[in-house]
């Protein structure tokens, strides 16, 4: 054991002595000119290193440098600027007069991928073969890099004519082998339009065909998105898949994609081009898609759990700029989306077999297919959305078939005063996409058929019978106490928040109904009259016959939260009794006339 310890101690002394001698005998500044020449010869980029180079021995033999910059040929701004650079070098190649750099580390670097940092050819320069190999150096030195690290850096990315994006707190660890197979560990964050995105990526990269083509695999991309116009809890999730980047065509593809966003889960593929005009094509399948958990405009849950709202106040010196459709990236993008969702949730509505086929051409979105099942019913809402102007213009052709009414009323924040099912075919248009916009700025009409209608807490037949019983005991009605209106159909129209019911007709076996009036969604008021004809009256034959054919109006009016009712059964019955009494009096007078005429 003592011999082993002695041997290790001797080896340690030799290594320390060798490294010390190397530090004393080799001046790292002798490598400066070589590194500059090699970088320019192999890539054409110009490397500048300020200050003296110095050795750093522990824990890794390294060369430390001060401020450095890397500039593309003809570019007005450097691609990379760093306050500090560290080159980890291999010891044994250095002893044989070879510089083998195992890792390059940049701290507080600024990386620019912008038009100003792109390489530019001199005017009149000849165009050489794209894949021409650089001329090899004969000075006896070799240059090799296997690892790259960036710490606390900034990436500025901008396409020609596009907006600038700043990726802050950029940390990158890239390790590649001799065949250009690399592993990547990256984290960064970006803030834009009062929203914050934090990203952490782990994956594999094949750079054998760089800079023309990159392929790889995303093992896990964890992200967190929060800020303005997003849910209070933000959006969190993970993305994985196989990716490809074609630099010559500025195109990307992502296959075998697995995406989670809060409690939503999707899979599919994506491809597109990021150069202007940008093009994206998405094909997605969702096992679960909870839109209410991904949108800030989702309705508040009815659960008894208290809701704590956090209010973010904008500093006075940072007055928010008014935004309109001109700020939307969709105005510079061609997008196609195909989405199938087994189950989806929107504004509390549970949808199944949701199918969406949509396209966007620089701000004009076409919904060629938006359909699915809602409970036991079905819906289809094709149309267009135009954001090429400051105000969004919407055109929709909704079709509903046997859809439950009460959940729809709740989803659109309307009083749940009706139960039953509805079928309709409509044509709507207007400005704005929110629920409030639909209530105030949309117009159109629809053919409507409602089945098994029931007014909440109102039994029309019972109201009429009780009102008649209070006025007269000459007639009774023993029909079943059925509250439903079996069917009601007609045409309705919407005009900037005012729903007009010109003439809806229907009824059930013992009740005929005709409705008319209007409902103002903006002011939350209504004035609707339901003309009812209740059949099945018995008792006095003449009065029963009259009541079976008599229309009785029920008027509902006022604010939704404080509705007023008017059911003038006494007036109707009194008029009928007066008419009956007058008729009988006339008949008696007619009988008296012949008797008076006799001598």
Task: Give yes or no for residue 15 having a pLDDT over 50.
Answer: yes
What are the C-alpha distances in Å from 510 to residues 466, 476, 482, 520, 573? 16, 14, 9, 31, 19
* Strand blocks (E) in 17-135: 46-49, 54-56, 62-65, 68-71, 80-89, 101-113
Are the beta carbons of 448 and 423 closer than 8 angstroms? yes
Place of tokens 């500039």: 71
Q: How far apart are the first and last CA of the chain?
A: 162
Mean pLDDT of the chain: 80
- Above 80 in pLDDT, residue 459? no
Distance CA 181, CA 208 (A): 7
pLDDT beyond 90 at 331? no
Question: What band does 262 get if pLDDT is binned at 50, 70 and 90?
Answer: very high
Express as a percent the part of the chain with pLDDT over 70: 78
How far is residue 278's CA from residue 220's CA, in Å, rounded to a whole number?
Answer: 26
State phi, psi for 90 to the nearest 5 degrees.
Answer: -85, 140
Q: Which pLDDT tens digit goes with each residue over 170-220?
A: 999 988 888 888 899 999 999 988 889 999 999 999 988 877 889 999 999
When pLDDT is cut at 50, 70 and 90, the band that residue 40 belongs to is confident
581 or 274, which is more confident: 274
Phi, psi of 368 (to 5 degrees): -75, -25
Residue 413: other Cβ atoms inside 10 A: 13
Integer Rg of the chain from CA: 39
Given this model, what pLDDT does residue 143 score?
43
| 129 or 61, greater pLDDT | 61
pLDDT band at 431 (very low <50, low <70, confident <90, very high): very high
Give CA–CA dist 231/238, Å, rounded: 18
Q: Give pLDDT, residue 91.
A: 65
Sign of the dihedral through C-alpha 260, 265, 268, 272: negative
Is the pLDDT assigned to residue 302 strictly greater than 60?
no
**Helix (H) / strand (E) containing 77:** none
Q: What is the Cα–Cα distance from 322 to 458, expressed in whole angstroms?
A: 47
Cα→Cα distances 191→170, 213, 226, 262, Å: 13, 29, 10, 20
C-alpha distance from residue 18 to each of 93, 420, 429 (Å): 13, 90, 82
Residues 257/225, Cβ–Cβ less than 8 Å:
no
**pLDDT for the residue numbered 401:** 95
Encode pLDDT of 490-502 as tens digits. 999 999 989 999 8
pLDDT at 45: 84
Output 430 or 139, whichever has higher pLDDT: 430
pLDDT of 141 strictly over 50: no
Whole-number pLDDT of residue 582: 54
3-class DSSP state for residue 275? coil
pLDDT band with cut points at 50, 70 and 90 for residue 586: low
* Inter-helix orientation angle 569-597/460-471, to 10°: 50
pLDDT of residue 541: 75
Give the model confidence (pLDDT) of 537-573 as tens digits: 777 777 777 777 778 888 889 988 888 888 777 666 6
Mean pLDDT of 239-247: 93
pTM score? 0.75
Q: Which of 94-103, 244-253, 314-323, 536-545 has the lowest average pLDDT?
A: 314-323
Q: Please give the residue that has the higher pLDDT: either 518 or 160.
A: 518
């Amino acid at each position: 054991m003592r011999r082993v310890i002695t041997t290790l101690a001797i080896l340690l002394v030799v290594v320390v002595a060798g490294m010390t001698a190397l530090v004393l005998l080799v001046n790292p500044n002798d490598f400066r000119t070589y590194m500059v020449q090699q970088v320019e010869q192999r890539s054409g980029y110009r490397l500048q290193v300020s200050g003296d180079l110095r050795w750093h021995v522990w824990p890794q033999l390294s060369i430390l440098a001060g401020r450095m910059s890397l500039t593309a040929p003809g570019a007005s701004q450097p691609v990379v600027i760093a306050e500090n650079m560290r080159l980890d070098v291999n010891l044994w190649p250095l002893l044989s007069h070879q510089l083998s750099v195992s890792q390059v580390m940049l701290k507080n670097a600024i990386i620019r991928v912008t038009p100003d940092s792109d390489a530019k050819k001199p005017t009149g320069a000849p165009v050489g073969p794209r894949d021409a190999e650089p001329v090899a150096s004969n000075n006896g030195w070799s240059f090799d890099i296997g690892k790259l690290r960036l710490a606390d850096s900034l990436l500025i990315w901008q396409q020609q004519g596009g907006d600038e994006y700043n990726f802050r707190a950029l940390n990158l660890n890239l390790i590649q082998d001799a065949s250009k197979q690399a592993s990547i560990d990256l984290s960064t964050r970006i803030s834009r339009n009062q929203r914050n995105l934090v990203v952490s990526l782990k994956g594999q990269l094949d750079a054998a065909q760089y800079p023309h083509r990159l392929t790889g695999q995303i093992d896990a991309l964890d992200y967190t998105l929060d800020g303005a116009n997003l849910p209070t809890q933000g959006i969190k999730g993970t993305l994985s898949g196989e990716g490809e980047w074609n630099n010559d065509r500025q195109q990307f593809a992502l296959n075998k994609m697995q995406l989670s966003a809060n409690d939503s889960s999707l899979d599919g593929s994506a491809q597109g081009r990021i150069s202007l005009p940008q093009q994206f094509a998405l094909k997605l399948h969702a096992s679960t898609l909870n839109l209410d958990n991904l949108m800030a405009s989702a309705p508040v849950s009815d659960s008894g759990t208290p809701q704590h709202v956090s209010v973010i106040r904008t500093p006075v010196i940072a007055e928010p700029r008014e935004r309109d459709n001109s700020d939307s990236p969709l105005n510079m993008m061609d997008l196609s989306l195909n989405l199938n969702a087994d189950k989806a949730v929107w504004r509390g509505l549970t949808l199944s077999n949701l199918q969406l086929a949509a396209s966007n051409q620089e701000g004009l979105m076409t919904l060629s297919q938006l359909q699915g099942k809602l409970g036991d019913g079905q819906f289809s809402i094709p149309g267009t959305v135009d954001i090429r102007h400051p105000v969004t213009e919407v055109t929709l052709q909704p079709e509903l078939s046997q859809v439950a009414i009460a959940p729809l009323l709740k989803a659109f924040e309307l009083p749940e005063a009706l139960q039953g099912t509805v079928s309709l075919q409509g044509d709507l248009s207007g400005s704005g996409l929110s629920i409030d916009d639909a209530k105030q700025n949309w117009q159109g009409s629809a053919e409507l058929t409602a089945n098994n209608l029931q007014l909440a807490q109102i039994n029309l037949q019972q109201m009429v019978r009780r009102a008649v019983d209070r006025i007269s005991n000459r007639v009774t009605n023993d029909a079943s106490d059925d509250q439903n209106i079996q069917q009601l159909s007609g045409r309705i129209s919407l005009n900037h928040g005012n729903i007009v019911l010109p003439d809806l007709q229907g009824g059930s076996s013992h009740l005929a109904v005709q409705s008319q009036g209007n409902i103002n969604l903006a002011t939350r008021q209504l004035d609707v009259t339901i003309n009812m004809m209740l059949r099945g009256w018995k008792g006095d034959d003449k009065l029963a016959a009259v009541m079976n054919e008599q229309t009785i109006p029920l008027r509902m009016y006022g604010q939704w939260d404080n509705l007023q009712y008017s059911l003038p059964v006494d007036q109707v019955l009194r008029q009928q009794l007066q008419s009956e009494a007058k008729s009988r009096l006339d008949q008696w007078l007619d009988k008296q006339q012949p008797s008076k005429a006799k001598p």
